[in-house]
Amino acid sequence: MPRGGTAATEAAQRYNTLPAGHPQGYQDCFNAFVADVYAARAGARPDGLPGFEDGLRAARLTEAVLVAAARGTWVTVG
């Protein structure tokens, strides 16, 4: 489905900040993330905003990567 098309959901439409045909890149994603953070600080619950569990998972994955690199083996992530 083309970005900005009429078939896009209402939730997806809010991320379409440029006219169709223009690439949506890093800056657009960063702007959308910052807008969600500000909305969350104001009391909203934006869909997809990372929470504590997401940060904990990222920390566990990072730890496993470091251990795997030091050992030179695969590491199971709990």
Query: Is the pTM here over 0.85, yes or no?
Result: no
Three-point CA angle 37, 56, 24, nearest 5°: 40
Residue 5, CB half-sphere, CA atoms under 13 Å: how many?
A: 5
**Nearest-angstrom CA–CA distance, 77 and 39:** 33
Predicted confidence (pLDDT) per residue in 19-55, tens digit: 777 776 777 888 888 999 999 999 999 888 888 999 9
- The one-letter code for the residue type at 31 is N
Tokens 């904990």 — which residue?
56
* Contact of 8 with 1, CB cutoff 8 Å: yes
Q: Determine the Cα–Cα distance for residues 65 and 32; give it in Å rounded to an integer.
A: 29
